[in-house]
């Protein structure tokens, strides 16, 4: 702060002060005025510095406000992304259950249709061999009529099941969108982290590879392999697994 004092002005005031001190006729009042001028000089420099500091603080706060996106990421977006991913699990689970319910409901219907058509086939063959009496013929006629009515109802039921299965696939669109958003969020976080590392500058030392060592005996489970992002040494399918197991004596 001292550096920014107006030296020329200070020198001028000091000369006046010296001259006043050497002159016996100078009154205390006059000396006081000169001292006041010197103090004022100091004060104005101080105010200038204070002004600068205030501006700097203000700018920092403004920048921090602009960076509030980072705070939002931590407070809102990441928990939000977790919820979204949970929702993806729920949606896919619901879709899978819907489809399996339709299958479980439809299987006995189809089995019943097969059974009835088998019975009718047998009756029909008996009729073709002319082994059928008038009573049996009447029964078959009734059975055929029932079969027509019932098969229509059953097929309608199966068709409505197919529609349910079709509709249940809408999870693909929704989960796809959600996952894409989470990917974008992760990209944004990555960008911010890179920025942070850049600010750290020379103090930053890459450590990302170092900390991946795993305690002895511990296994990292990777879960499903994502196409195009497979880890190394991974089996490409059941055939690879079978070959490996065969080589191990299985």
Partner 1 sequence: MKILIVDDFSTMRRIIKNLLRDLGFNNTSEADDGNTGLPMLQSGNFDFLVTDWNMPGMTGLDLLKAVRADARLKNLPVLMVTAEAKKEQIVMAAQAGVNGYIVKPFTAQTLKEKIDKIFERIEAGG
Sign of CA dihedral 120, 124, 127, 131: negative
CA atoms within 13 A of residue 158's CA, in its CB half-sphere: 14
Part of the chain binding partner 1 (CB under 8 A), chosen from 73-81, 93-101, 172-180, 190-198: 93-101
Binding residue (CB under 8 A) for partner 1 from 108, 133, 223, 228: 223
Cα gap 116→208, rounded to integer Å: 68
* 227 touches partner 1 by CB under 8 A: no
Separation of alpha carbons 228 and 241, rounded Å: 19
| Token representation of residue 80 | 């939000």
> What number of chain residues touch partner 1 (CB under 8 A)?
24
Q: Which residues contact 127 (CB under 8 A, 6 or more apart)?
A: 137, 140
Q: How far is the CB of 78 from partner 1 (least distance, A)?
A: 22
* Binding of partner 1 by 219 (CB under 8 A): yes
Decide whether 104 or 208 has the Cβ nearer to partner 1.
Answer: 104
Between CA 115 and CA 124, with CA 120 as vertex, the angle to 5 degrees is 150
Residue 248 as a binder of partner 1 (CB under 8 A): the answer is: yes
> Could you say which residues in the range 103-132 bind partner 1, by CB under 8 A?
103-104
Question: Rounded to an integer, what distance in angstroms lies between the CA atom of residue 245 and that of residue 243?
Answer: 5
Between 167 and 244, CB nearer to partner 1 = 244
CA 4 vs CA 35, 37, 48: distances in Å: 19, 17, 9
State yes or no: residue 170 binds partner 1 (CB under 8 A).
no
Residue 233 lies near partner 1 (rule: CB under 8 A): yes
Is 194 a binder of partner 1 (CB under 8 A)? no
Q: Which is nearer to partner 1, 2 or 104 (CB)?
A: 104
Between 94 and 139, CB nearer to partner 1: 94
Q: Name the segment binding partner 1 (CB under 8 A); options: 16-24, 173-181, 182-190, 217-225.
A: 217-225
If binding is defined by CB under 8 A, does position 244 make contact with partner 1? yes
Residue closest to 81 by CA, chosen among 194, 222, 183, 188: 183
| Residues 193, 183: Cα–Cα separation, whole Å | 15
Residues forming contacts to partner 1 in the complex (CB under 8 A) are 92-93, 96-97, 100, 103-104, 219, 221-225, 231, 233-235, 237-238, 241, 244-245, 248, 250
């Amino acid at each position: 702060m001292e550096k920014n004092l107006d030296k020329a002005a200070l020198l001028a005031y000091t000369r006046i002060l010296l001259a006043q001190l050497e002159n016996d006729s100078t009154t205390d009042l006059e000396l006081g005025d000169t001292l006041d001028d010197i103090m004022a000089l100091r004060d104005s420099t101080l105010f200038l510095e204070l002004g600068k500091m205030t501006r700097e603080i203000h700018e920092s706060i403004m920048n921090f406000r602009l960076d509030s996106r980072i705070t939002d990421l931590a407070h809102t977006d990441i928990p939000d992304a977790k919820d979204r991913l949970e929702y993806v699990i729920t949606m896919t689970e619901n879709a899978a259950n819907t489809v399996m319910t339709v299958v479980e409901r439809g299987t006995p219907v189809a089995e019943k249709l097969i059974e009835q058509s088998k019975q009718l086939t047998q009756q029909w063959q008996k009729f073709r061999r002319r082994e059928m009496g008038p009573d049996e013929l009447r029964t078959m006629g009734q059975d055929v009529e029932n079969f027509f009515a019932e098969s229509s109802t059953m097929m309608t039921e199966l068709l409505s099941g197919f529609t349910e299965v079709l509709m249940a696939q809408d999870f693909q669109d929704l989960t796809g969108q959600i996952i894409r958003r989470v990917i974008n969020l992760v990209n944004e976080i990555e960008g911010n982290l890179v920025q942070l590392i850049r600010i750290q500058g020379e103090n930053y030392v890459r450590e990302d590879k170092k900390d991946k060592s795993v305690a002895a005996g511990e296994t990292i489970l990777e879960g499903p392999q994502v196409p195009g992002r497979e880890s190394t040494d991974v089996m490409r399918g059941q055939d690879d697994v079978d070959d490996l197991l065969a080589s191990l004596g299985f």
